[in-house]
């Protein structure tokens, strides 16, 4: 059977943007930026996106397009008889870790959407939103229902296939999402006291930069947000043909992704400050703080409904790209049908997600890494370690294993003025920066 393909380059771009823009831009970005100093974090994050992220995005997509295979198969095909394919296993492992918690949190947003649709959250629930959220996530089976529902939707799209499933869904999701988020941001800016939030987001507090943890957090956020280092973009790239030029496409994806991170910052922080809330309130920021704020706004019920609809949509278009990584791999090695691979893989992720979800209920207090709960520990291992390592492997593969001419050709940069810049980044700058940030974070450099 011929390998599936995107119907158009635009279809690929929308799918890749759909992958990039998700909970990472809205839920994760807002609390990580809030915890790491706001404006200063934004600067470091944007620096990483443009200097490391976008060049690596081009690198990752080009590996997939050249090899026309999944994340393990691509390395194996391009470097037969070498151990490079091991880096693909990191990607497959990361996909299980990430989607199992991603689906739990996305399930929360679908639940919130439901609470707004039904009108329950139009007025403060008894005991306030904090108690409502706490009660919901610590409930044993309630969040599991929404986690299951979200996983079923994800599987439902992936099993239909590339063109009719993933591409078609993103063609509807992405324009809708853009309109909703821009509308919300414009509304947020009209709130009284909004400027304080804008200042928090855009005015760097330089003292935050002395903390080495900020760099690791910003690097992890850049990778997570661009869907980088796991093979999601590689797998999407493998459904492209040689005629579709990569550099413009990947710059477009990276710019759109940062644009959406900034836009959701503009949705969230003005509202946070306008209502005198502490921006560093961590992962619950979006689920406790925002509903409380919506409640006090004119038309808040509608704003809440639109916000959680956008969040659910953004999560779904990202989740399908995470599921596609192991699905493409299992279809090839086990000769499973797409249907079988999607249902089986998605079900395993659902089961892993049970542990994440119960981590807020009966397993509360379990903290595998430092003071992180189960979800934060899985996120930490995946985003701050596996993704940068995966990105490092891809950079070394294209920068050092490929000949220079091969690397430039694979990325459509032959004869392009940006070719040497990209090559220098991928060969030296990105690997060195990633390694430095790791060492720095472990404290080896004592900085």
Cβ-proximal residues to 238 (8 Å cutoff; 6+ apart), any chain: 3, 64, 65, 67, 68, 69, 70, 74, 328
> Does residue 234 bind ligand TRP (CB under 6 A)?
no
Instruction: Please identify which residue in 56, 159, 322, 386 interacts with ligand TRP, judged by CB under 6 A.
Output: 322
Cβ-proximal residues to 48 (8 Å cutoff; 6+ apart), any chain: 218, 219, 222, 433
Query: Which position's Cβ is nearest ligand TRP?
Result: 24
The token duo for 375 is 């979800």
> Does residue 230 bind ligand TRP (CB under 6 A)?
yes
Q: DSSP state, 7?
A: S
Angstrom distance (rounded) from CA 427 to CA 404: 10
> Does residue 256 bind ligand TRP (CB under 6 A)?
no
Residue 372's DSSP bridge partners are: 369
Instruction: Determine the interface stretch with ligand TRP among 34-42, 137-145, 271-279, 318-326 (rule: CB under 6 A).
Output: 318-326
CB of 224 to ligand TRP, least distance (A): 5
> Which residues, 339 to 398, sit near ligand TRP by CB under 6 A?
387
Q: Choose among 65, 5, 94, 19: nearest CA to 398.
A: 65
Instruction: Please identify which residue in 6, 12, 24, 269 interacts with ligand TRP, judged by CB under 6 A.
Output: 24
Which is closer to ligand TRP, CB of 23 or CB of 78?
23
3-class DSSP assignment, residue 372 = strand
> Does residue 22 bind ligand TRP (CB under 6 A)?
yes
Q: DSSP state, 204?
A: -
Instruction: Determine the interface stretch with ligand TRP among 1-9, 163-171, 224-232, 350-358 (rule: CB under 6 A).
Output: 224-232
Q: At what angle do helices 430-442 and 387-396 cross, to 10 degrees?
A: 150
> Does residue 57 bind ligand TRP (CB under 6 A)?
no
Instruction: Determine the interface stretch with ligand TRP among 23-31, 271-279, 402-410, 430-438 (rule: CB under 6 A).
Output: 23-31
> Does residue 225 bind ligand TRP (CB under 6 A)?
yes
Angstrom distance (rounded) from CA 197 to CA 270: 4
3-class DSSP assignment, residue 333 = helix
> Does residue 76 bind ligand TRP (CB under 6 A)?
no
Instruction: Determine the interface stretch with ligand TRP among 49-57, 58-66, 220-228, 265-273 (rule: CB under 6 A).
Output: 220-228
Angstrom distance (rounded) from CA 205 to CA 38: 7
Question: Site residues (CB under 6 A) for ligand TRP?
Answer: 19-20, 22-25, 98, 224-225, 227, 230, 232, 318, 321-322, 387
């Amino acid at each position: 059977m011929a390998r599936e393909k995107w119907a158009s380059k635009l279809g690929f771009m929308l799918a890749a943007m759909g992958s990039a823009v998700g909970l990472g831009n809205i839920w994760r970005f807002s609390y990580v930026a809030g915890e790491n100093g706001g404006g200063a974090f934004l600067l470091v994050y944007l620096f990483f996106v443009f200097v490391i992220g976008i060049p690596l995005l081009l690198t990752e997509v080009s590996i997939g397009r050249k090899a026309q295979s999944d994340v393990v198969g691509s390395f194996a095909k391009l470097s037969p008889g070498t151990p490079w394919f091991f880096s693909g296993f990191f990607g497959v492992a990361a996909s299980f870790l990430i989607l199992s918690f991603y689906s739990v949190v996305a399930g929360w947003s679908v639940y919130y959407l439901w609470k707004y649709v039904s009108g329950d959250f139009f007025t403060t629930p008894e005991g306030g939103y904090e108690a409502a959220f706490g009660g919901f996530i610590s409930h044993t089976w309630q969040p599991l229902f929404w986690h299951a529902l979200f996983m079923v939707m994800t599987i439902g799209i992936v099993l239909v296939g590339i063109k009719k499933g993933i591409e078609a869904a993103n063609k509807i999701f992405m324009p809708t999402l853009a309109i909703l988020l821009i509308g919300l941001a414009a509304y947020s800016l009209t709130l009284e006291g909004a400027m304080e939030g804008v200042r928090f987001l855009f005015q760097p507090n330089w003292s935050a930069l002395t903390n080495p943890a900020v760099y690791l957090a910003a690097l992890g956020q850049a990778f997570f947000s661009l869907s980088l280092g796991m093979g999601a973009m590689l797998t999407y790239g493998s459904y492209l043909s040689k005629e579709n030029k990569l550099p413009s496409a990947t710059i477009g994806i990276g710019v759109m992704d940062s644009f959406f991170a900034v836009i959701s910052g503009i949705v969230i922080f003005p509202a946070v400050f306008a209502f005198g809330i502490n921006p560093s309130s961590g992962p619950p920021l979006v689920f406790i703080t925002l509903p409380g704020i919506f409640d006090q706004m004119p038309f808040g019920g509608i704003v809440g409904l639109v916000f959680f609809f956008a969040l659910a949509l953004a999560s779904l278009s990202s989740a399908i790209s995470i599921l596609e990584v192991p699905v493409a791999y299992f279809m090839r090695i086990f000769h499973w049908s797409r249907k079988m691979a999607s249902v089986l893989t998605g079900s395993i992720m659902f089961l892993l997600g049970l542990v994440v979800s119960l981590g807020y209920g009966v397993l509360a207090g379990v903290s595998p890494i430092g003071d992180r709960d189960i979800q934060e520990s899985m996120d930490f291992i995946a985003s701050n370690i596996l993704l940068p390592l995966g990105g490092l492997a891809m950079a070394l593969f294209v920068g050092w294993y490929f000949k220079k001419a091969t690397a430039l050709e694979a990325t459509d940069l032959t004869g392009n003025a940006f070719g040497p810049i990209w090559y220098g980044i991928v060969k030296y700058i990105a690997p060195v920066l990633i390694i430095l940030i790791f060492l720095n974070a472990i404290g080896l450099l004592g900085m």
